[in-house]
Amino acid sequence: MEPHPYIRLSALNDMIHDTISARFAGQRFWVLADITNHSYKADKKIHYFELVEKAQNGNAITAKMMGKSWGGGAVRIEEFEKNTGQTFTNNLHVLVQVSVDYHPLYGLSVSVLDIDSNFMLGILEQQRNATLERLVKENDYIQKVGDGYSTFNSRLKLPAVIQRVALISSSSSAGNEDFRHTMQHNDFGYVFQIDDYYTVVQGDNNAKLFLNKLIEIYNTRIPYDAVVINRGGGSQSDFLIFDNYNIGRAVAKFPIPVITGIGHQKNISITDLMAHTHTKTPTKAAEFIIAHNRSFELNILSLQQNILIKSQQLFHVHYKELNQLKNAISHNARELLQIHREELAKTNQRIISSSRSVLYGHQKQLILTAHQVVQSPKMLLQQKKNALVHIKSAIKSSANDYLRREKITLEHHMKSIQMMSPQNILRKGYAIVKINEKIISSAENIQAGQEIEVILKDAKLKSTVKEKIQYDGRETDL
């Protein structure tokens, strides 16, 4: 049997090479495909990978082609990574410009000459928007408000002072150290308790681990003032975990205010939008908490100053009123004494005048009686003498009674004046109560534990209120 005609394999490869080169020489094609089996030779700056196309209704591969990129193509890939924040790696759906190559040893392949950054950004944005729409549609505690979102978590009220914080971050994160350093070395001497909940904070495939940390914080039942989610910088793909649907939903309904300090500068993640407060970096998150506490302290200092000013004003007003009352009492007492002194002088004059009149009348009667005595028997003289003695006694008794009554009246008026003086009121068992040097007449502003000053007739007592019992003034045990 005669041998079959043949050619060498290299000759066949040369024929294929010539045919392909002739067909595709100088042509460029924009191809839509997924990246698999990627590797990168950093010393040569060459990317090796496969371009694959998958069926629309599943993951079955319908087409595959070996690919590589070097030189200008590698530069374009580097620009793509900078523009998108996305590392050129496996499982990326990309739009690339390629040329067709055939090598006798390595077979058919394509060389990536360019890659469309906008296409990748569009895909990421579409995925993000779809997740946001799903969150709003499936969860009634999430509503879109203008360009932002209102969630159960964002509607929570931050405590007046944030002191105890649950921190979710990576144990090796530089952002974690920045957060702690800023919190612990604040300019105001605030002290914080920070409990660490370490987990992986990158890669969408680690979302379950991250979600478990939120559940762990909830299950501790520790009354944290806030939960802080921290992460340092990284590529766009590193932050995909924060666009995860389940994490966004968990943050949106978490019962403790969530503050994010995710170190990406370009975009706001879904977790940021669902949280109570989002900041750009871990340091900014710490600064926000410190500023929140400082605002509370400034408000307290302002209230303290206002209370001091108001107290001084009230003390000045009541001090003036007390002086006016004291002056009025002294003035009224002097006037009352003057009135009674004048009345006493008038009464004395009336007594003198009445006595003279009475004496003059009796003197006339005595003279008449004397004439009658001279002319009457001794019995009549004795009778008249007895009558005269009786009249004299009556006059003396009447004058003494009158003077005694007037003296009693005068003493009564003087006692009334003395009873009106503050010193006499204190001697009766009453007391004056002062707070901050201000006399008070009502317990409305007195609280348990407050210091008061009680003024008695012979001492001033510094006391602390142990208990405050309401009294309506109707009890009779005073």
Q: Does 2 have pLDDT greater than 80?
A: no
What's the confidence (pLDDT) of residue 474? 62
Nearest CA to 267 out of 93, 84, 130, 117 is that of 84
Residues above pLDDT 70, as percent of the chain: 91
Q: For the ranges 21-35, 257-271, 317-331, 370-384, which has the lowest average pLDDT?
A: 370-384
Mean pLDDT of 285-314: 91
What's the confidence (pLDDT) of residue 219? 95
Residue 102: φ, ψ to 5°: -140, 125
When the pLDDT of each residue in the chain is averaged and rounded to a whole number, the result is 84
- pLDDT class of 189 with cuts at 50, 70, 90: very high
Residues above pLDDT 90, as percent of the chain: 29
Nearest CA to 242 out of 65, 124, 108, 154 is that of 124
Question: What's the CA gap between 197 and 382, in Å, rounded?
Answer: 129
List C-alpha distances in Å: 169 to 198, 232, 236, 410. 5, 9, 18, 92
**Residues 142 and 252 sit within 8 Å (Cβ to Cβ):** yes
Q: Does 235 have pLDDT greater than 80?
A: no
Say if strands 93-103 and 61-69 run parallel, antiparallel, or are unpaired.
Answer: unpaired
What's the confidence (pLDDT) of residue 328? 83
What's the confidence (pLDDT) of residue 218? 93
pTM given for the model: 0.51
Q: Does 382 have pLDDT greater than 80?
A: no
Classify residue 56 by burial, with Cβ atoms within 10 Å: 0-12, 13-18, 19+.
exposed
Mean pLDDT of 142-162: 93
Q: Does 204 have pLDDT greater than 60?
A: no
Q: Does 249 have pLDDT greater than 80?
A: yes
The tens digit of pLDDT for each residue in 29-51 reads 998 888 889 999 989 899 999 99
Mean pLDDT of 16-23: 85
**Residues 275 and 260 sit within 8 Å (Cβ to Cβ):** yes
- pLDDT class of 298 with cuts at 50, 70, 90: very high
What's the confidence (pLDDT) of residue 85? 67
| Token couple for 67 | 């690919």
Q: Does 193 have pLDDT greater than 90?
A: yes
Q: Does 477 have pLDDT greater than 60?
A: no
The tens digit of pLDDT for each residue in 72-100 reads 999 998 988 887 767 888 878 888 899 99
Pick the CATH number of 141-280 from 3.40.50, 3.30.70, 1.20.1510, 3.40.225: 3.40.50
Residues 6+ apart with CB under 8 A from 307: none
Q: Does 236 have pLDDT greater than 60?
A: no
- pLDDT class of 375 with cuts at 50, 70, 90: low
What's the confidence (pLDDT) of residue 387? 84
| DSSP bridge pairs for 61 | 54
What's the confidence (pLDDT) of residue 19? 87
Mean pLDDT of 436-457: 82
- pLDDT class of 212 with cuts at 50, 70, 90: very high
The tens digit of pLDDT for each residue in 398-422 reads 888 888 888 888 888 887 777 777 7
Q: Does 137 have pLDDT greater than 60?
A: yes
The tens digit of pLDDT for each residue in 334-354 reads 888 888 888 888 888 888 888
388 or 286: which carries more pLDDT confidence? Answer: 286
Q: Which CATH superfamily is domain 9-115 in?
A: Nucleic acid-binding proteins (2.40.50.140)
Mean pLDDT of 23-34: 88
What's the confidence (pLDDT) of residue 225? 96
Quickly count: other Cβ atoms within 10 Å of residue 295's Cβ.
12
What's the confidence (pLDDT) of residue 221? 94
227 or 406: which carries more pLDDT confidence? Answer: 227
